[in-house]
């Protein structure tokens, strides 16, 4: 398993996930690592997280507003360049052709070297957890948009009229995977991840209890040599030569 990115120059990185807080929970320390190394990171989030509360006094619109404010604050703390929010309803993502077209538009507009999403094939991340269908469906629509559509002008040709010329990404990094082949030592950036997550106040509950859980995970039973890692399944496309 590789233990670093292997990138030789600065990269434009586009993170496409389902909900506000997904980037920080899934790979917040890696995002901090990349930005501090000089790479540029953007987010596209397919929903506004409108079902992320059990408070009966809040409307779905209230929840979405709160979560967007929290996500904007977390992104700003990490140094994210931009965040786009689509208006798909939380919990109901279906990776259809219209959604694929929207993702192709973002890929062709931002023209990232690296595309980050989550593994669409990971149904059961553990024995205690079923992966949210939005996570899997976000990953599915992203990988379907990356290949073959984003780089082929005959897919969604109407996007050409918008100036969205074909673009091929170099790599796809999938978080929330049971088949990792790259792990990053992000111990140095764990504090950035924690601080960003604490800005998602509506989602983490008691911040002291949350921090304690995260610290226990980092300390891993007191092992002095423990390294905090974030893992990915990575597709590196073979580049065509002239």
- Structural domain boundaries of the chain? 12-236
Residues 28, 68: Cα–Cα separation, whole Å = 17
Hey, is 129 helix, strand or coil? strand
CB of 112 closer than 8 Å to CB of 14: yes
CB of 106 closer than 8 Å to CB of 14: yes
What are the residues facing 174 on neighbouring strands?
117, 233
Q: Which of 172, 159, 43, 14 is nearest to 101 (CA)?
A: 159
Residues of the chain with pLDDT under 50: 221, 242
Residue 215 has a pLDDT of: 73
Secondary-structure class of domain 12-236 per CATH: alpha beta
Residue 4 has a pLDDT of: 87
Structure tokens that stand for 46 in this block: 């397919």
Q: What is the maximum span of the chain, computed from C-alpha positions, in angstroms?
A: 61
Q: Which of 70, 77, 19 is nearest to 43 (CA)?
A: 19
Residues 103, 113: Cα–Cα separation, whole Å = 15
pTM of this structure: 0.93
Query: Which DSSP letter does residue 238 get?
Result: P
**CB crowding 185-213: b at 16 or more within 10 Å, else e:** ebeebbebbbbbbbbbebbbeeeeebeee
């Amino acid at each position: 398993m590789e233990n670093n990115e292997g990138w030789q120059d600065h990269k434009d990185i586009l993170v496409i996930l389902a909900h506000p807080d997904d980037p920080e929970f899934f790979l917040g320390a890696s995002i901090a690592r990349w930005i501090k190394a000089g790479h540029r990171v953007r987010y596209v989030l397919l929903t506004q997280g409108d079902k992320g509360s059990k408070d009966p006094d809040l409307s779905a619109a209230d929840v979405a507003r709160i979560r967007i404010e929290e996500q904007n604050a977390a992104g700003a703390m990490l140094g994210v360049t931009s965040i786009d929010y689509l208006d798909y309803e939380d919990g109901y993502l279906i990776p259809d052709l219209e959604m694929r077209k929207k993702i192709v538009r973002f890929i062709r507009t931002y023209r990232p070297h690296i595309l980050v999403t989550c593994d669409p094939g990971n149904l059961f991340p553990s024995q205690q957890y079923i992966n949210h269908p939005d996570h899997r469906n976000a990953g599915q629509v992203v990988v379907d948009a990356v290949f073959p559509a984003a780089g082929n002008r005959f897919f969604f040709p109407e996007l050409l009229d918008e100036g969205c010329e074909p673009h091929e990404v170099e790599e796809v990094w999938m978080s929330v995977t049971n088949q990792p082949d790259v792990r990053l030592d992000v111990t140095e950036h764990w504090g950035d991840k924690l601080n960003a997550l604490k800005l998602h106040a509506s989602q983490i509950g008691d911040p002291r209890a949350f921090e304690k859980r995260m610290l226990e995970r980092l300390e891993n039973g007191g092992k002095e040599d423990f390294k905090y890692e974030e893992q990915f399944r990575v597709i590196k496309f073979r580049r065509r030569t002239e």
